[in-house]
Amino acid sequence: MRALARVSLGRAGFAAVVVLLAIVPLTTPPFWVTLGNYIGLYSIVALGLVLLTGVAGQTSFGQAAFVGLGAYTTAYLTTRYGMSPWLTLPIGLFITFAVALFLGFITLRMRGHYLPLATIAWGISLYFLFGSLDFLGGNTGLTGIPPLALPGFELKSERQFYYLIWAIALCALWASNNLLDSRPGRAIRALKSGLEMVEAFGVDAARLKIVVFVYAGLLACVSGWLYAHLQRFVNPSPFGINQGIEYLFMAVVGGAGSVWGAVIGATLITLLKQWLQDLLPHILGRAGNFEMVVFGVLMVLLLQRAREGIWPWLERLLPKRASPPVPNAPPLPARHKTTRQGALLEVDAARKQFGGLVAVSDLSFEIRSGEILGLIGPNGAGKSTMFNLICGTLPLSAGDVRFCGASIGSRQPYEIARLGIGRTFQHVKLIGSMSVLDNGALGAFLRSKAGVLRAALKLDRAEEARVKAEAARHIARCRLDAHTFDAAGSLALGRQRIVEIARALAADPLLLLLDEPAAGLRYLEKQELATLLRSLRTDGMTILLVEHDMDFVMGLTDRLVVMDFGEKLAEGLPAEIQKNPVVLEAYLGGVA
């Protein structure tokens, strides 16, 4: 009952914002309506940056150029060819899509700093291009842009336009919020925690980053289209690099982690700029862009002291939304499990060299269906390197790895995940701010289909319910149901390792790879882990366990492969390995 009240309070809050927005133009002088229009236009752009910067961990200084692209496309086509503005919007979106796709493709496969640098260059290029192309009117720009018209009436006054801008802004907020709470959204939120993790669940991280960049570009383009028809003229000056930087400031000030941060940031920066431009000339006795100094200093202080922006502070004041209960939904379709006879995975003379160092030297072994195989060895033996060769995180120098008879030696990690190999990480990689349930749901990424569009329009709810139900089932199977709605980061290390196993299980793998799952666990936690792994084996799961804790491995595994200095030292049943003199020598430095 109380939870219900809280949810409706959240709805009431949203309704209050809408009512407030609706009455502003009716009660305030035109000056405030104009400001409200700009805040709406900027919010749309900043929203894209919230997703790109705050959520996906990338950034762009070139959003003003995308705004310009939207504005100039409609300005040119409507004034020169008399096209309807409703037709120029899709054309502008298409051009933006193509440009963003291209820029994203060439920069987002590399390290994070290439995109911002490329967007600075592209922002400046486009700005100069607008100013020097004669058919776009050079620095004077284009005038006489027709107003937007609906059948029956034209949107000529600022007040009318206000409602259109904010209707679009609220739709964009709604869609972006939906997107974040969905299958692609979980993957986008996971991007910041490292690409290795998302790729292990079948996410093509480079593609996803490009998708977010394109999404942000399209929002900027819509804002530009609105701007052109609001102002009825365009020139290059509002699309320069400084405006692009201010858009980023808005997203950062507001709080780049939440969609509402975009509106807060756009409002604050716009009002502050307005106020400073009135105030500073009086104080300083000189005219000039001195608000830049204030903005710059404020940003530095903010990033030094409160990197999350203003929204988290406001959020704390709002009533907390209760988590909705796990929906009761049918299970997701499971992988067709043929009982393969013999080897599920074959490692055939795998080799990995780092310069002159041979970390894994022509190692061969196999994992049979339904067994727990332990890969053990002293520190530095090359176990983790071997593990990464199987997952595709590291490319092989020579040799091959076959899974179900097919070579996976040169596949990307997300392709290997698709074939049915699940994994955990030696250093736990969960998204600490997300609930255990959402972390688990990320594991089921490959078993669901919803794309960005379906998610944004909230058409994915039936599938989403099944994903959540599936994740909850695996969390319960790992006996973590008491923590389903806790933030993953709030759990103890031992529990976090189990969450990683639940997440891997949600992917319905044929083979589970565990990288030192017992490291840093206490005695009781280790026993719980061993019980869980045994029960998984009983259910038919095949497991590769990389460990250096001999006691943990001995009672649990069916067979052992021992590595030392990148080579296979021994292979056999745990009892045989325990007596093997070569192994004892490697571990204890000689038999006494």
Scan residues 424-443 and list those touching another protein (CB under 8 A).
none
Tokens of 272: 């502050």
User: In this complex, which beta carbon is closest to another protein, that of residue 122 or of residue 225?
Assistant: 122
Stretch that binds another protein, among 145-153, 242-250, 260-268, 419-427 (CB under 8 A): 242-250
User: In this complex, which beta carbon is closest to another protein, that of residue 1 or of residue 357?
Assistant: 357
User: In this complex, which beta carbon is closest to another protein, that of residue 241 or of residue 421?
Assistant: 241
Beta strand 372-376 pairing with 542-547: parallel
- Give how far the C-alpha of residue 389 lies from the chain's centroid of Cα atoms, to the nearest Å: 25
Smallest gap from Cβ 417 to another protein, in A, equals 15
In sequence order, what E strands does 448-584 have? 511-515, 542-547, 559-564, 567-572
The rounded distance, in Å, linking the Cα atoms of 453 and 131 is: 35
Mask for 91-120, x = binds another protein (CB under 8 A): --------------xxxxxxxxxx-xxx-x
Residues forming a β-bridge with 562? 376, 570
Smallest gap from Cβ 224 to another protein, in A, equals 20
The rounded distance, in Å, linking the Cα atoms of 371 and 550 is: 18
Does residue number 308 form part of the binding site for another protein (CB under 8 A)?
Answer: no
User: In this complex, which beta carbon is closest to another protein, that of residue 65 or of residue 569?
Assistant: 65
Does residue number 306 form part of the binding site for another protein (CB under 8 A)?
Answer: no
Of 42, 61, 403, 414, which lies in the binding site for another protein, with binding defined by CB under 8 A? Answer: 61
Of 291, 348, 400, 567, which lies in the binding site for another protein, with binding defined by CB under 8 A? Answer: 291
Query: Is residue 513 within 8 Å of residue 541, measured between CB atoms?
Result: no
Does residue number 519 form part of the binding site for another protein (CB under 8 A)?
Answer: no
Scan residues 171-210 and list those touching another protein (CB under 8 A).
194-196, 205-206
Smallest gap from Cβ 80 to another protein, in A, equals 21
Does residue number 124 form part of the binding site for another protein (CB under 8 A)?
Answer: yes
The rounded distance, in Å, linking the Cα atoms of 458 and 176 is: 10
Scan residues 405-424 and list those touching another protein (CB under 8 A).
412
Radius of gyration of the chain (CA): 28
For 249-266, give the DSSP string: HHHHHH-TTSHHHHHHHH
User: In this complex, which beta carbon is closest to another protein, that of residue 116 or of residue 574?
Assistant: 116
Residues forming a β-bridge with 360? 352
Scan residues 248-267 and list those touching another protein (CB under 8 A).
248-249, 252
The rounded distance, in Å, linking the Cα atoms of 370 and 66 is: 54
Question: Which of 436, 433, 426 lies closest to 479, judged by CA?
Answer: 436
The rounded distance, in Å, linking the Cα atoms of 28 and 450 is: 43
User: In this complex, which beta carbon is closest to another protein, that of residue 25 or of residue 261?
Assistant: 261
Tokens of 197: 């993790």
Edge-to-edge, what's the strand order for the sheet holding 542-547? 421-423, 511-515, 542-547, 372-376, 559-564, 567-572
User: In this complex, which beta carbon is closest to another protein, that of residue 120 or of residue 164?
Assistant: 120
The SS3 assignment for 390 reads helix
Q: Which residue has the tokens 């074959």?
A: 346
Stretch that binds another protein, among 50-58, 68-76, 156-164, 544-552 (CB under 8 A): 50-58
Question: Which of 186, 192, 194, 206 lies closest to 506, judged by CA?
Answer: 186
Does residue number 330 form part of the binding site for another protein (CB under 8 A)?
Answer: no
Does residue number 277 form part of the binding site for another protein (CB under 8 A)?
Answer: no
> Could you count the other beta carbons within 10 Å of the beta carbon of residue 435?
18
User: In this complex, which beta carbon is closest to another protein, that of residue 100 or of residue 529?
Assistant: 100
User: In this complex, which beta carbon is closest to another protein, that of residue 110 or of residue 171?
Assistant: 110
Residues found near another protein in the complex (CB under 8 A): 53, 57-59, 61, 105-114, 116-118, 120-122, 124-125, 128-129, 132, 194-196, 205-206, 241-242, 245, 248-249, 252, 284, 286, 288-297, 299-300, 303-304, 307, 395, 412
